[in-house]
Structure 1
């Protein structure tokens, strides 16, 4: 108790802490050493706090080779719980903030904190999923700014192609989405920047079944991280030496970014009143709900598409064909599909879509 572990260049520090120095709870965590107030990037025992008065608590490597947090009565509060761990294990805090448990003889990594993220994503870490094994990484918010137990929000990559990021609330309800990855950034985050200044890179490996989002060092800042706040807001935060924290971008920032605000075939414009309107050719599904300001039911087509009409339906006599209406500066719809074509251009995409009645739009 009272001792800390420093990374080689003294960038990060690991030790016991109490979030607001008044609550009767303490945790083991990792924070930036020279930053005040402290910014925590990882907490071990967020769900099992120690009593602040427990001055005999300790973090140790047990006889089975696992990292173990013990209270003053030598009762285990948290453990890496690795089966077959080496009794020659050593623990190391790296300069990127990763806390590693290694075999002291072979140097093999047995466990690392980067594979058990909390609310913060830092350069050098990876967030992703393995479609073959089902293993999936996610950021989970703190319950409050001073309570590191599991909060109401988590963020992860969805497994569709191309992938996109989601924030979920209460475990099962979509709260926000990033839009699909367009090979340089997430298309729905306008402020994310270009390929040359965006710190993120997404790599897919079809053979392994992995999709991984990498966070590279952000050239604009000396320190940077992505955090999911207790209010469900993703924030890319940066800081130079001697400067204050700067929020490079955050999402969601307004009601229009909340998932499903205007429902199917609805478009949200924060500057308008009301903020929701139906796409051209569509009308509110429920006029009564729409007038009450409840737009989640969305919109329906004013008239049927030609390709939807069966032989028993009245056919079009005015010669009009199904077509498309161009709309810009909106997030691509949620349920998209990547279609492999020989030539990616507007004409080939339009032709493919017109020949598939289940295709409603293209981009």
Structure 2
């Protein structure tokens, strides 16, 4: 019996894998869209991609939770960091696979669930129905009309993250405030306990607040190049940080941009403010964070107390002051702060007709400190005039003169002073003459 010749080719697994992979790539590519219109909604499994493939928008569930959101993240950097969320306060169910993001009949961008109920909408007045939603390479998600006019921008509605070219600050005339608000937890994107923004002081400071009003951390005053309470702000950092304080328009806005580096600033649900960066599309790295040590927590040593992270205990009273309650202080509860040991000559009932020069108050210089809160700015005064101004006012408890700022004085309790190992500024504190000895 003759040998039968096989006419079919043997199975080649590598060809099969190549074919399957090509099919997967083809399907994946089809899942990417570049705009959202009334006729082209964004469905589960699809992503909206910016033109340069820098940012991506789609559905996600944080930490494999039951909550599902529409968010924006950097497309190629891992771990994936969501920088903006549309439906923060109203999560979809992770089991709802029929939800979609679309342009509705009145031209608004709208997120609907599987039952076509509205979950979130831009809620703006659109002049025509020819609008579309696009994701820009800046990370800004916009709705624009047929001629390209932007009608709505995600940058105007910050979440827990600030990315380059976004603004953090406020407009006094309109009353609009742009703040960062933390998530409630790792898996719950709704508004949490902590927020970050600028204070209306001159010069301004950046704060982390609890429940929108209780200070948790502050940056110190802005000196036109950096925040004085952040000693680690180096030259590279300064070059990309800007704060525009327009007194005439009543606006203060902070923004940042690093050349050749992708970055973001985030307030975590635990209350930590972080700046992260990525070079050449690599993984995220920590650049800076606050609060970093116990002394960074606002007012931890109370009024007229000073905190030094390297000391033990970390709190002490300023020279010329003693604990308000020695019992509480010895228990480690120092929030009550300190009180003056010797009454000031200025403002006392003592007659100043007798050798006043012997008794008059003097100023003690403290170096390398984070200046206390509640400063008052007196413009156009040199260092010596600043001192004279403070001496001449019995309500003035301390002063300093800062390059790029000018004269700062304090008339309220001195609170949230931190002594740095390096950096910081000089502070001149008013004390009774007796505190200086003979």
Aligned residue number for residue 75 of structure 1: 117
Compute the displacement of 1:317 (Å): 6.7
Greater shift, 310-319 or 67-76, is seen at 310-319
Aligned pair 1:356/2:398, yes or no? no
Aligned pair 1:207/2:248, yes or no? yes
Give the structure with the larger helix fraction: 2
1:288-299 counterparts in 2 under 5 A? 288-299=327-338
Whether contact under 8 Å (1:156, 1:165) holds in the other structure is yes
Highest RCO, 1 vs 2 (Cα 8 Å, sep ≥ 6): 2
**Following the alignment from structure 1 to structure 2, what is the Cα–Cα distance between the partners of residues 278 and 182?**
27
1:35-184 counterparts in 2 under 5 A? 35-84=77-126, 86-105=128-147, 107-184=148-225
Q: What is the aligned counterpart of 1:304 among 319, 339, 343? A: 343
Aligned pair 1:11/2:48, yes or no? no
Compute the displacement of 1:208 (Å): 1.3
Greater shift, 313-322 or 178-187, is seen at 313-322
Distance 1:318 1:357, change over 3 A: closer
Once the two structures are superposed, residues 169-211 of structure 1 have per-residue CA deviations (whole angstroms, 9 ceiling, x without a partner) of 1333211011010110111011122377442100111221111
**Following the alignment from structure 1 to structure 2, what is the Cα–Cα distance between the partners of residues 111 and 204?**
25
Whether contact under 8 Å (2:79, 2:284) holds in the other structure is no
Whether contact under 8 Å (1:281, 1:302) holds in the other structure is yes
Once the two structures are superposed, residues 305-355 of structure 1 have per-residue CA deviations (whole angstroms, 9 ceiling, x without a partner) of 1212136899777813212111112111110011012x422x111111111
Distance 1:85 1:169, change over 3 A: farther
**Following the alignment from structure 1 to structure 2, what is the Cα–Cα distance between the partners of residues 268 and 63?**
59
TM-score w.r.t. the length of structure 2 is: 0.78
Aligned pair 1:344/2:385, yes or no? no
Aligned residue number for residue 414 of structure 2: none
Whether contact under 8 Å (1:125, 1:214) holds in the other structure is yes
Aligned residue number for residue 277 of structure 2: 238
Q: Secondary structure at the match of 1:190?
A: coil
Whether contact under 8 Å (1:184, 1:195) holds in the other structure is no
Once the two structures are superposed, residues 144-171 of structure 1 have per-residue CA deviations (whole angstroms, 9 ceiling, x without a partner) of 2232221211001001100001101133
Distance 1:292 1:154, change over 3 A: same
Q: CA RMSD in A?
A: 1.9
Compute the displacement of 1:283 (Å): 1.0
Aligned residue number for residue 41 of structure 2: none
Compute the displacement of 1:125 (Å): 0.9
**Following the alignment from structure 2 to structure 1, what is the Cα–Cα distance between the partners of residues 359 and 125?**
67
Greater shift, 187-196 or 141-150, is seen at 187-196
Aligned residue number for residue 23 of structure 1: 65
Distance 1:37 1:196, change over 3 A: closer
**Following the alignment from structure 1 to structure 2, what is the Cα–Cα distance between the partners of residues 133 and 162?**
21
Q: What is the aligned counterpart of 1:259 among 298, 303, 308? A: 298
**Following the alignment from structure 1 to structure 2, what is the Cα–Cα distance between the partners of residues 191 and 317?**
44
Once the two structures are superposed, residues 103-123 of structure 1 have per-residue CA deviations (whole angstroms, 9 ceiling, x without a partner) of 223x32221111111111111
Whether contact under 8 Å (1:185, 1:198) holds in the other structure is no
**Following the alignment from structure 1 to structure 2, what is the Cα–Cα distance between the partners of residues 8 and 322?**
66
Compute the displacement of 1:39 (Å): 1.0
**Following the alignment from structure 2 to structure 1, what is the Cα–Cα distance between the partners of residues 237 and 168?**
21
Compute the displacement of 1:299 (Å): 0.9
**Following the alignment from structure 2 to structure 1, what is the Cα–Cα distance between the partners of residues 303 and 67?**
46
Distance 1:297 1:182, change over 3 A: same
Aligned pair 1:329/2:368, yes or no? yes
Paired residues in the alignment total: 357
